[in-house]
Chain A
Amino acid sequence: MHPFSTLTLGIFVAGYITARWDLVTRLYELAIFAWDYGVVSRAAKGFAVLTFVFLAVFIPVQRLATLEANLHDGLMRVFWPADLPRSNLKGVVVGWRNSALDVFVVAILDEVEPRNVESALKLGTLFRNAPHPVSRIYELCGQSSLYVLGLSNTPETVEIDPSWVRVTTGPGHRVPSVSCARASSIQIILFERPLPGRMQYISLNPIALALGDKQDSFRNDFSESGEEEEEKQERLNKKKKQQLVEKLKDHSVIKHVPSAKERALAKIVNQMNWAWELEKLIQKNVSRIGTRPKRSLSVSERVVESATTMRDMALVWLWDLMVVYVLPIIRRIFVLGLMCHRIAAEMMLRVLEWRARPRYAALKDISATAQQVEIRLQQFCYWPMQYVTLRLRKNDWESVTTSHPDYIRFYNSLWLVANDVIIGIALGSYIIDNSDWVAEEISRLLSTYTVDALQSSISWLMGWPAGLKLNTELAEFLGDLFLWVIDYWSSCIETLHPALPHIVSIIGFSSFAGASMPIALLSDLLSILTIHIYSFYLASARIFHWQLNILISLFHLFRGKKHNVLRNRIDSCDYDLDQLLVGTILFTLLFYLLPTVVVFYLNFAIARMAIISLKAVFDTMLSCLNHFPLFALMLRIKDPRRLPGGIRFELRDTQDFRIAFRDPPRQLPSTSVIYLKSTPLNFKAMFHQYFQMGNRIRKHYLSPRVLLCLLTGEFVPPLNRKNLYSLQYSMLPARRAGVMEMWDAVNSLPGPKRRAMPIYVPALANGKRLPSNYAGGRSRSYA
């Protein structure tokens, strides 16, 4: 302050005090009064209390608040479509804001004012002319609206909202540089947008090629029919593992509560699937934001537009005529025909599924042909329902991905049936053309392998095979017995011989219904024509088993022991001399007779095993024809992004990225560039069901239990057909829709859309008009 003005101020104050001296004395008195009555001490106390409160409450609260604000440690996550158009123009970044520092970029709108974009987003201008309801977007993307997320290519000088991001991008930059006032480190996650028009999509979990509701119902079936040993073992193992998993849960010391960012992943995957369609829609409507330079149409353009309008109107009129008068009739007739077939199919299915008692086998459990017919009928019943669901897909946005597995399943089964029929026609025409030769060949094979080979092997066994001295009398007895039955059987087959060409031609005709039909018929024919081998196997197995049992108990007697049935253990026992003598003699006799029985048993067991493996080959062929993931394999080769098997991330080097952005003077926050890629479904998952079936067959037939059964002559149970065919049914729902349900579904289909007028008819040819692509979706643009 200037010394002179200080002097002036001093003179003024001194003069004022002398002029108002009584005010000063009053103040002095007041001070003395206050001192006398303890005001000062009280004020000091109050000050102390306030200071304490400030120190103890306000400062910690403020500190906590800052900590809370920085809790997300400034990590910003930006999802950025790698195939977003890159331009040097100034733009507004629009997208979803999943949480404060978790943004998902949908589009960059060039050359618009952020203020206008915000108001347009609020008013919904950007979603004008949307082909389907807009609320569906918000519902599936899990957000209530799009936001302005930031600005692109704006100079540093422009002040922006602190929560907005500043993006620098351009044609030369593969990765945008992003900064935000609030973020201390940034993850840029780049992804290629899946094209919804091509049914590409991204998913966290592998796409399910089989219908999911099967496993439980099959499990239930097993628990009803008395589960097998391996199944039980498997279940027990699973239970044990489940207990271990439960125990492991208790080991986690710190329970981490997932934050909003971590829970958002499923939503973000949906947003990625929507990104393409949404961007297209928004870019189409950008012209509605703010004022843009507009141009009226030239005269020639107007002439062209009027002419095309005329043509379009004529076309629409013709189309309407078709839709209103002709199409409903065709549709009606088709639906009625379909329903008739459906009712017939229902009746046949009832016959195939009929069981005399609940626990008895139905026809489809016994015969492969019945099973095949049943699968085809079930598929026929399921197709209309699938088609209806797929048709309803058209009434929704293309980005809704829930029905894509259905699509793949539907076309896979159609393809398989078509393939089956094509192969079947080729096979059938060959069989019919050469039916005599085929019949001749079949009868020759039958007589060689099921009669002659068996006869010669039995006669070989009767005459001391391989130098093995068997008991001649017993061998002759058994051999004569079997030979006699074989003779009888071969005469039966002889009577069948003239009918064989007819049977073969029937098989040939059946193969026009698919190559799987003759295979199933052959499988059944094989089991009918080898029934004698089956019975021989049963008989010899019985004899062998009895003899073995008797030998074991006599061996106990030989040692002076016996089997205590009540306690299920071996007790010692005092036999009399005559008991011991007779038992030992019998033991010796039976023991020496055992090899003879064993060789006969082995002979038939091997024949039986050969037939079982032949039938297994047939069944494998059937399951390949009925269930091979053909369509999925083709898709995997053609467009792997249609079969998503999960996602994977790649961390990119940030060195080159930093060099590219060295020129801007500002300090970029520490940034990691991550690429998100969709991994296609691997082949193992595609053939998962085959592996499962193979495992089941292996467990059933190649287990030590089966070997034990074979050694002791017990009957080896064939694999449960239901078990084997769980694979084939995995394409079908557990419960088929009834006739009425199908009727309702077919009738619920929306009719073909009446096309709206293509574009509005120009009322006045003069005046200022907007370019025709202004109107968005339905109008055409001049290319």
Chain B
Amino acid sequence: MLTTPPHLYIRRPSPTTAEFTVTTCPPMTIPLRLALLSILAIRITVVLSVIIALYSQFFAPQAQPQPPQPLETSSPTAKTILSQISPSTLLTLLQTLQLSAPGQSLSRLAAALPTWILLLISSALLYTSLLLRLHTTESVLVLRGLGIQTSSSRGSNTRFIPTAKIQDVLINEAFKGFEVRYYLVVVVEGEEDVVVVFPGLLPGRRIVEAVWRGVRGCLYEPGPGEGERGRYKDGGIERW
């Protein structure tokens, strides 16, 4: 429900400029938004509980429960807490959280585990909740007269190839595991390696073919024979 198989969006504000985006993110509906929000909440809770567990294991003052002092700081409203955020208040907040009932059970759990297992689990949890992305989006932007730009949400790296350096744009096939994958490549003049478009998602042949046709039609000016003008309406957003 949260992700779909890669599908294609086309943005084409004018017939000479087009952006082809392949994404695993389904169209934003209200249930999806709610699900994403709840995932965010779960992530925040996980990160917080990991921090509390680590704090209780390594940094908390040993064996001196001070219920009265932290309880004082926990009683004021959220506004006053926000207004006086400083390292010390954050620390007291952390202490308060640790002394609450779920915090206590967490710290008991942390104390029960050996140190290296605790570190391993907490680093794994932090990695999944902070760094893992749910959706992958990769796009290729074609500008007639300028060139092709590939970009990817993974690592957010973009690469622009001027038209004068593009030798060819073609679809190639390769074995990956036990299947044949079709992928779009841009052959760059004077470079040893070809540039693979949508390298992370490697969408299916139907999408790749559509993108290839779009790129060919958009990148070069149509010769006298092929009148492609007016085939696309401006401002259209098409979906595959």
A complexed with B: yes
Chain A residues in the interface with B (C-beta under 8 A): 64, 67, 71-73, 75, 77, 102, 184-187, 189, 204, 238, 241-242, 245, 248-249, 251-252, 256, 258-259, 261-263, 265, 646-649, 651, 653-655, 658, 669-674, 679, 682
A263 to B164, CA, bound (A): 6
Nearest Cβ on chain A to B157's Cβ, whole angstroms: 8
Interface string of B214-228 (1 = CB under 8 A from A): 000000111010000
Q: Could you write out 13 A-B pairs with CB less than 8 Å apart?
A: A67-B224, A73-B222, A184-B229, A249-B167, A251-B168, A258-B163, A259-B221, A648-B151, A651-B13, A653-B13, A672-B14, A672-B16, A679-B158
With contacts A102-B145, A651-B17, A655-B235 taken as known, whether A73 is within 8 angstroms of B168 at the C-beta atoms is: no
B143 proximal to A (CB < 8 A): yes
Q: Are A651 and B19 in contact, with the CB atoms below 8 A?
A: yes
> Which among A64, A67, A102, A671 is the interface contact of B14 at CB below 8 angstroms?
A671
**Please, which residues of chain B bring their CB within 8 A of the CB of A185?**
14-16, 234
Q: Are A649 and B146 in contact, with the CB atoms below 8 A?
A: yes
Q: Are B187 and A252 in contact, with the CB atoms below 8 A?
A: yes
**Please, which residues of chain B bring their CB within 8 A of the CB of A670?**
13-15, 234-235
**Please, which residues of chain A bring their CB within 8 A of the CB of B164?**
258, 262-263, 265
Q: Are A648 and B149 in contact, with the CB atoms below 8 A?
A: yes
With contacts A67-B224, A75-B145, A670-B234 taken as known, whether A262 is within 8 angstroms of B163 at the C-beta atoms is: yes
A658 to B163, CA, bound (A): 29
Going nearest first, the 3 A-B pairs with the smallest beta carbon separation are A670-B234, A672-B17, A670-B14
**Please, which residues of chain B bring their CB within 8 A of the CB of A73?**
15-16, 221-222, 229
A248 to B151, CA, bound (A): 24
**Please, which residues of chain A bring their CB within 8 A of the CB of B229?**
73, 184
B11 proximal to A (CB < 8 A): yes
A252 to B143, CA, bound (A): 21
**Please, which residues of chain B bring their CB within 8 A of the CB of A648?**
149, 151, 158, 160
Q: Are A265 and B220 in contact, with the CB atoms below 8 A?
A: no
B141 proximal to A (CB < 8 A): yes
CB nearest neighbor in B for A74: B229
Which chain B residues in 117-164 approach chain A with CB under 8 Å? 141, 143-147, 149, 151, 157-160, 162-164
With contacts A71-B224, A242-B192, A265-B146 taken as known, whether A672 is within 8 angstroms of B13 at the C-beta atoms is: yes
A651 to B158, CA, bound (A): 13
CB nearest neighbor in A for B225: A67
> Which among A72, A187, A248, A263 is the interface contact of B221 at CB below 8 angstroms?
A72
**Please, which residues of chain B bring their CB within 8 A of the CB of A245?**
192
**Please, which residues of chain B bring their CB within 8 A of the CB of A674?**
17, 143
Nearest Cβ on chain A to B194's Cβ, whole angstroms: 8
With contacts A185-B14, A649-B149 taken as known, whether A654 is within 8 angstroms of B141 at the C-beta atoms is: no
Given A185-B15, A265-B147, A646-B160, 19 additional A-B pairs, CB 8 A:
A73-B229, A75-B145, A102-B145, A186-B14, A187-B145, A189-B146, A204-B162, A242-B192, A251-B168, A258-B164, A262-B146, A265-B163, A265-B164, A649-B160, A655-B235, A670-B13, A673-B13, A674-B143, A679-B158
CB nearest neighbor in B for A260: B145
Q: Are B160 and A75 in contact, with the CB atoms below 8 A?
A: no
Q: Are B145 and A259 in contact, with the CB atoms below 8 A?
A: yes
B25 proximal to A (CB < 8 A): no
- Mostly, the A contact residues are mixed
> Which among A75, A252, A263 is the interface contact of B167 at CB below 8 angstroms?
A252
A256 to B145, CA, bound (A): 12
**Please, which residues of chain B bring their CB within 8 A of the CB of A263?**
164
B51 proximal to A (CB < 8 A): no
Interface string of B4-17 (1 = CB under 8 A from A): 00000001011111
CB nearest neighbor in B for A248: B187
**Please, which residues of chain A bring their CB within 8 A of the CB of B220?**
256
A262 to B165, CA, bound (A): 10
**Please, which residues of chain A bring their CB within 8 A of the CB of B187?**
248, 252
Q: Are A265 and B162 in contact, with the CB atoms below 8 A?
A: yes
B93 proximal to A (CB < 8 A): no
B170 proximal to A (CB < 8 A): yes
CB nearest neighbor in A for B224: A67
> Which among B19, B158, B162, B167 is the interface contact of A262 at CB below 8 angstroms?
B162
A226 to B1, CA, bound (A): 62
**Please, which residues of chain A bring their CB within 8 A of the CB of B151?**
648
Nearest Cβ on chain B to A725's Cβ, whole angstroms: 27
A259 to B147, CA, bound (A): 12
A48 to B149, CA, bound (A): 57
Nearest Cβ on chain B to A98's Cβ, whole angstroms: 10
> Which among B19, B145, B222 is the interface contact of A261 at CB below 8 angstroms?
B145
Nearest Cβ on chain B to A23's Cβ, whole angstroms: 56
Nearest Cβ on chain B to A78's Cβ, whole angstroms: 12
Which chain B residues in 23-52 approach chain A with CB under 8 Å? none
A242 to B14, CA, bound (A): 39
Nearest Cβ on chain B to A667's Cβ, whole angstroms: 11
A520 to B34, CA, bound (A): 62
**Please, which residues of chain A bring their CB within 8 A of the CB of B168?**
251-252
CB nearest neighbor in A for B220: A256
A77 to B141, CA, bound (A): 16
Nearest Cβ on chain B to A729's Cβ, whole angstroms: 25
With contacts A252-B168, A262-B164, A646-B160 taken as known, whether A651 is within 8 angstroms of B145 at the C-beta atoms is: no
With contacts A204-B162, A258-B164 taken as known, whether A187 is within 8 angstroms of B16 at the C-beta atoms is: yes
Nearest Cβ on chain B to A258's Cβ, whole angstroms: 5
